[in-house]
Amino acid sequence: MQAVVHQGHAGFEGLSYRTDFPDPSVKAGEVKVALKSAGLNHRDLFIVQKRHQADDPAVIIGSDGAGIVSEIGENVTAVRVGDEVLIIPSLRWEKKSPAPPDDFDILGFPDHGTLAESIVVSEKQVAAKPGYLTWEEAGVLPLSALTGYRALFTRGGLKPGDTVFIPGIGSGVATYMLQMAKAVGARAIVSSRSPEKLDRAQTLGADVLLDNDQNWTEAVGEGSVDLVIESVGAATFNRSLELLKPGGTIVAFGASAGDEVSINLRQFFYHQWNLHGSTMGSIEEFQEMLNVFNKYQIHPVIDRSFELKEAGEALKRLDKSVQFGKIAILID
């Protein structure tokens, strides 16, 4: 079958498009899905850059995907052949909890992922595709939307009427958070160095647009935000804290601009701030996220679409961080 595989060398040198990869077989409790579309995430770039040993086994990358169930194994009861489904990338984390279990993992490494014609997963790892979404939209939904949902609602406790600040608008997770926040009646502030990304965020409903070079506290007022969702890291963390209300919450789920930050601890406890970490989410939260999307008919923002054989080019676009929204991979 066709697949995008990484093996043997670090970076794009180890990435290849193959037409001869073995077709996966189905065991008891599993389902096989003929994939129609997939999406890219920064996790895919991390895997490509991380694996560098010549004897590393070949792995199909990709965590996002959607398709049609083509085969079911013994004892499968919740899924039928012909069902249109989304792939749930959160492995072995079924119920919502403060943190994932020790054996939690994410589809796409070390398990084979979604940049292929077919994938075999547990029947627990599929959910009904929202009928209003196109295949292109459905394929880019899973990982980023789940990550954003848990950060906003499970960890961040966002409520209607709250003000949320999302620095670094433009990524798939950030655009999903903006859309979900606005859908439930929250006020949203976003930032970027790109005027084009700020303009596009405004069309999605962003209430306040901040340029990265301006003084944020002068623009929106110190202590004016209920919730900050941080994925940028060292470059924005303390600037974001200045906007947070006493008793407010900051949720961190990424660190694209630096892993380590230094904070004024006395200021932190005097303001009674809450700091939560977050990553991905459970299968239960995936279903809750789908309920939000179905209720408010939210459509993913597609930056560009590529064919499966063009996945390397698509990853290079993601690596440049020029995209707004999700990059889709169409699978024939």
Ranges of the chain with pLDDT below 70: 52-54, 256-258
Examine the domain organization and report whether 10 and 108 are in the same domain. yes
- Long-range Cβ pairs for the range 196-205 (8 Å, 24+): 196/324, 197/169, 197/170, 197/324, 198/169, 200/301, 200/324, 201/169, 201/170, 201/175, 204/175, 204/178, 204/179, 204/301, 205/178, 205/179
109 and 15 co-located in one domain: yes
163 lies in the same domain as 241: yes
Is the domain of 251 the same as that of 174? yes
Q: Does any domain span residue 152?
A: no
Of the candidates 163, 251, 273, the residue with the CA atom closest to the CA atom of residue 210: 163
Nearest-10 Cα torsion for 89, 50, 117, 41: 50
Report the pLDDT value the prediction gives residue 258, as an integer from 0 to 100. Answer: 67
Distance CA 300, CA 13 (A): 31
CA distance 7 to 52: 8
| Residues 191 and 76 both lie in one domain | no
For residue 258, CA distances in Å to 122, 231, 252, 255 come to: 36, 10, 12, 5
pLDDT of amino acid 50: 82
Q: Which of 45, 86, 83 is nearest to 62 (CA)?
A: 45
Comparing CA positions, the residue from 57, 76, 251, 82 lying closest to residue 151 is 251
Contact 238/230 with Cβ under 8 angstroms?
no
**Whether 173 and 214 share a structural domain:** yes
Give the C-alpha separation, 314 to 307, whole Å: 9
Q: Do 127 and 12 belong together in one domain?
A: yes
Positive or negative: CA dihedral 277, 287, 186, 258: positive
Whether residues 8 and 105 fall in one domain: yes
**What was the pLDDT predicted at 205?**
97
The reply to whether 199 and 128 lie within a common domain is: no
291: domain CATH number?
Answer: 3.90.180.10
What is the DSSP code string of 179-205?
HHHHHTT-EEEEEES-HHHHHHHHHTT
Among all chains, which residue has been given the structure tokens 């459509």?
299
For residue 248, give the CATH number of its domain: 3.40.50.720
Specify the pTM. 0.95
Nearest Cα neighbor of 39 from 123, 112, 125, 113 is 113
User: What domain range is 76 assigned to?
Assistant: 3-144+281-330
Which of 257, 277, 297 is the last residue in one of the domains?
277
Predicted local distance difference test score (pLDDT) of residue 54: 64
109 and 202 together in one domain: no
Are both 313 and 195 inside the same structural domain? no
Look at the alpha carbons of 237, 279, 48, 137 in this order and tell me if their dihedral is positive or negative: negative
How many domains does the chain divide into?
Answer: 2
User: 172: which 2 tokens?
Assistant: 């798939």
224 lies in some domain: yes
pLDDT of residue 170: 93
Is residue 184 in a domain? yes
Tell whether 223 and 118 lie within a shared domain: no
Last-in-domain residue among 277, 302, 320: 277
- The answer to whether residue 100 sits within a structural domain is yes
